[in-house]
Amino acid sequence: MTKIRIYIFLVIQFVVLAHAHVTFAQESQILSVTPPLFQLSVLPGDVWQSSVKVVNGNSYPLTVYAEVVNFEASGESGQGKFIPIIHDADTQDKATLAEWIHIPEGPYVISPEQTADVSFFVDVPKNASPGGHYAAIIISTQPSKNEGDKIAVEASQAVTSLFFVRIEGDVIEDGIIREFRAQDSLLAQPNTEFSLRFENKGNVHLQPRGDIVITNMWGTQRGKIPVNYQTHFGNVLPKSIRDFKFAWNSDFSIADIGRYKAVATLSYGSNDSKNVTSVTYFWVIPVKATLIVLTILIAFILSIVWMVKAYVRKMLSLAGVTVKDTASIHHARQPIITEKNKSIKYRNISAPIKNGVLDLRKQLGLMEETADIFLTVWRFIVIYKKFFIALCILIIIFITSVLYIGKATEKHDRYNVTIEQN
């Protein structure tokens, strides 16, 4: 009994290991098809023939099966679903593209690391309706099973070659940007995602192409996202919406704080090129940088107020009026401003500067030695220190503003773009 138990155990182990090996081999199958997409423009009654090349990248022979199915959009992510051919005994009309594509019956045996050509021809009926028609050839390692209006492929590997056929005639090419927006309207860093929903309102597939240009509040470009360049898979099928998604990441700069503008411009159409545009806005306001900017602005305002007060006090002191003497005028009624009063005020405000310059000239005229000149200038600066401090603050703020604007309007390409592919 013990030997029998050991023998049964070994047989079970062998079966399990063999099944695991087969499963692993199936999971590691390498199968591909080229070309993955056919785009045709034909007339009713045309016949077009070609083939797809199936590549067996495995070290063992592979048996594959081919089937033609219809194809239509599913959702807004650029994906699709396959619909098997439904044969109706009551009608002989062939209205779908899958019924126009004829391939030899399989299966096809492909030698190790070899290729096989699966030939086919497209027989377009004379009464084919103008516009877009869509189908696919499914190459799989197991035959498919039709379940109503769906197709199930019980296989470890399946690849497809899509057919986008345009029947010439009364073709309608019409599309709009249904929605264009940034993921967030307020950002702490210049990093966001864009969603661009394009709706095809015509009867033929469209491939909108263009770009999204991002600029800061100074109108300087901070990013450019290409839409559908160097690709054949950015099509939008008729009567459907496709959501294109992009990620934009730019280097942070304190000069780029503020409102951003993103403009999406797309063109589409084979007969007559048409353009559509959409705009969205968002803000980039980092907390720390904003506090720094607000502090600078507050310091600027306070420095101006302080300078004006110091200037007025100096003007009053030159006129022989003390601060205590002016306390009673706070409740007095303000006089009507006339051109004469404006002229008097201008002379009064400019008096401290003129008196200071005359005072400096007078002191320098009395000096002969270089050391005395430097000493006189230093004493003059000490006497009018409030004015010079305010002047220095204004100069610093002016230089900072010039540097800020120059930095904000400087063009650079320090940004990354990620395009979501489906």
- Going by the DSSP 8-state scheme, the letter that residue 149 receives in this structure is T
Positions of E strands within 291-394:
none
Q: Tell me the three state secondary structure of residue 335.
A: coil
Q: How far apart (Å, rounded) are the C-alpha atoms in residues 317 and 86?
A: 102
The token pair that represents 299 in the structure block: 């310091």
Among 132, 167, 202, which residue terminates a domain? 167
According to the model, what pLDDT value does residue 77 have? 83
- At 125 the pLDDT is 93
Indicate if 399 and 302 belong to the same structural domain.
yes
What CATH number does residue 67 fall under? 2.60.40.10
Distances (CA, A) of 297 to 26, 253, 304: 68, 18, 11
**SS3 of residue 88 by DSSP:** coil
Residues 132 and 194 grouped into a single domain: no
Burial of 378 (0-12, 13-18, 19+ CB in 10 A): exposed
What is the structure's pLDDT at 199?
A: 96
Q: Are residues 138 and 194 in the same domain?
A: no
Token pair of 311 as six digits:
């200037």
How far is Cα of residue 273 from the mean position of the Cα atoms in its chain? 23
Whether residues 35 and 92 fall in one domain? yes
Rg from Cα positions in the chain: 40
φ, ψ of residue 76 in degrees (nearest 5): -115, 15
215 forms beta bridges with 221, 261
Instruction: Look at residue 176 in the predicted model and tell me its pLDDT.
Output: 96
Determine what percent of the chain falls in helix, strand and coil, rounding each to the nearest 5. 35, 35, 30
Beta strands in 12-92 (DSSP E): 31-34, 37-42, 47-56, 62-73, 80-83
Q: Report pLDDT for 15.
A: 36
Helices (H), 28-125: none
Contacts of 402 (CB under 8 A, 6+ apart): none
Domain identity same for 140 and 242: no
Q: Which domain holds residue 45?
A: 28-167
Residues 194 and 156 in one domain: no
Are 272 and 320 part of one and the same domain? no
Structure tokens at 371: 């050391």
177, HSE (Cβ side, Cα atoms, 13 Å): 24
DSSP state of 45: T
Do 50 and 159 fall within a single domain? yes
DSSP assignment of 259-306: EEEEEEEEEE-SSS-EEEEEEEEEEE--HHHHHHHHHHHHHHHHHHHH
- The answer to whether position 22 is within a domain reads no
Q: Is 75 left (phi over 0), alpha (psi -120 to 50) or beta?
A: left
Indicate if 310 and 220 belong to the same structural domain: no
d(CA 300, CA 302): 6
pLDDT at 28: 63
Q: Which two tokens stand for residue 185?
A: 């309207």
Number of CB atoms found within 10 A of residue 219's CB: 9
Q: Which helix (H) or strand (E) holds 110?
A: strand 108-110
Q: How confident is the model at residue 360, as a pLDDT?
A: 57
Looking at residue 50, what is its pLDDT? 94
pLDDT attached to residue 220 = 87
Question: Does residue 10 form part of some domain?
Answer: no
Residue 14 located in a structural domain? no
Q: Is residue 129 part of a domain?
A: yes
The pLDDT assigned to 298 comes to 84
Q: Are residues 273 and 306 part of one domain? A: no
150 and 185 fall within a common domain: no
Pick from 139, 167, 195: which residue ends a domain?
Answer: 167
Q: How far apart are CA 292 and CA 285, in angstroms?
A: 12
Tokens of 198: 């394009």
Residue 139: the pLDDT is: 92
The answer to the question of residue 131 being in a domain is yes
For residue 14, what pLDDT is reported?
37
Beta strands, E only, 12-46? 31-34, 37-42
Q: Are residues 118 and 215 in the same domain?
A: no
* Domain final residue pick, 100, 134, 167: 167
Judge whether 196 and 264 are in contact, CB under 8 Å: yes
Burial class of residue 120, CB neighbours in 10 A (0-12, 13-18, 19+): buried
Please indicate, yes or no, if residue 21 is contained in any of the structural domains.
Answer: no
The pLDDT score that the predictor gives to residue 189 is 87
Q: Judge whether 13 lies within some domain.
A: no
Nearest to 214 by CA among 160, 294, 281, 164: 281
Sign of CA dihedral 374, 376, 379, 384: negative
Tell me the mean pLDDT per 10 residues along the chain, length 422.
41 37 52 92 93 92 92 86 73 79 89 93 93 94 67 67 93 95 90 95 94 91 89 88 92 80 94 92 83 78 75 63 54 50 52 60 57 68 69 74 66 69 58
The total number of structural domains that make up the chain = 3
For residue 116, being part of any structural domain is answered with: yes
For position 64, what pLDDT does the model report? 92
The pLDDT of residue 12:
37
In angstroms, rounded to a whole number, what is the distance separating the alpha carbons of residues 370 and 367? Answer: 8
